[in-house]
């Protein structure tokens, strides 16, 4: 089942892409010299921090998650994020393959901050260039949606079950990347 969530207000605290949990998050995003108004990207392997609103919305769509609690771990293997309007932003890219102690690259898409703007932070290892990690700071005052198939989500109730699942998911994506089969994550069936 396709689950669509409005993550506009909760984005910065709900989407855990930092790897604190040891889950390696990947991002597939097309960035150019000019950041367009509309932006869509795919995030792979991240934690959705649950609150009562997310739990209620997910349960309405897919009753298989009726047992979820805020204290559990909700891993999303693949989701598409859509920003209806981007005003600008900044990016930091780290290259871990250089001998220059994590060489950094910066990109700024000009913007003017207005009272209604918010800055949204997202990032991960670049799916097509796994030696690079990107952090984006996107300026927007518009709606943000998150879409994923319920088959691409895993709810885990306890930390003891969570740790081996993280290792399994990290190994799975690493194998796909090494075998150049990362495209299997991007099928939009």
CA distance 186 to 189: 9
Q: Where are the alpha helices (DSSP H) in the chain?
A: 11-14, 52-61, 159-178
Q: Let me know if residue 18 belongs to a domain.
A: yes
Q: pLDDT (tens digit, 9 = 90+) per residue, 33-52?
A: 887 788 999 999 999 999 99
pTM for the model stands at 0.89
Query: Mean pLDDT score of the chain, rounded to an integer?
Result: 88
Q: pLDDT (tens digit, 9 = 90+) per residue, 162-186?
A: 999 999 999 988 887 777 655 444 4
Split into its structural domains, the chain has a count of: 1
Q: Let me know if residue 9 belongs to a domain.
A: yes
Q: Let me know if residue 121 belongs to a domain.
A: no
Q: Let me know if residue 112 belongs to a domain.
A: no
Q: pLDDT (tens digit, 9 = 90+) per residue, 84-135?
A: 999 999 999 988 776 666 678 899 999 999 999 999 999 999 988 888 899 9
The single residue listed with the structure tokens 């932070």 is: 121
Is 87 exposed, middle or buried, given 0-12, 13-18 or 19+ CB atoms closer than 10 A?
buried
What three-state secondary structure class fits 108?
strand
Q: Let me know if residue 45 belongs to a domain.
A: yes
Q: Let me know if residue 110 belongs to a domain.
A: no
Residue 153 is part of which domain span?
2-86+143-186
Residue 176 to residues 129, 169, 171, 179: CA-CA distances in angstroms?
A: 13, 11, 9, 5
Q: DSSP strand E in 23-130: where?
A: 26-28, 39-48, 73-83, 88-95, 103-109, 118-126
pLDDT of residue 174: 83
Residues with Cβ within 8 Å of 104's Cβ and at least 6 positions away in sequence, in order, are 92, 93, 94, 95
Q: Let me know if residue 21 belongs to a domain.
A: yes
Q: Let me know if residue 105 belongs to a domain.
A: no
Task: Please state the rounded mean pLDDT for residues 30-35.
Answer: 81
């Amino acid at each position: 089942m396709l689950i669509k969530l409005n993550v506009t207000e909760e984005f910065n605290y709900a989407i855990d892409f930092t790897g604190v949990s040891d889950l390696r998050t990947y991002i597939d995003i097309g960035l150019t010299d000019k950041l367009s108004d509309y932006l869509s990207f795919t995030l792979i392997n991240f934690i959705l921090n649950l609150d009562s609103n997310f739990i209620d919305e997910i349960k309405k769509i897919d009753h298989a998650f009726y047992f979820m609690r805020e204290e559990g771990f909700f891993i999303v293997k693949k989701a598409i994020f859509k920003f209806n309007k981007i005003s600008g932003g900044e990016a930091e890219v780290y290259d871990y393959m250089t001998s220059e102690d994590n060489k950094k690259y910066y990109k700024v898409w000009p913007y003017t901050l207005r009272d209604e703007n918010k800055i949204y932070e997202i990032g991960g290892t670049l799916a097509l260039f796994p030696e690079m990690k990107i952090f984006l700071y996107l300026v927007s005052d518009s709606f943000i949606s998150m879409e994923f198939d319920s088959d691409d989500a895993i709810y885990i109730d306890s930390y003891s079950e969570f740790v081996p699942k993280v290792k399994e998911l990290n190994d799975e994506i690493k194998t796909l990347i090494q075998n150049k089969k990362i495209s299997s994550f991007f099928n939009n069936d």
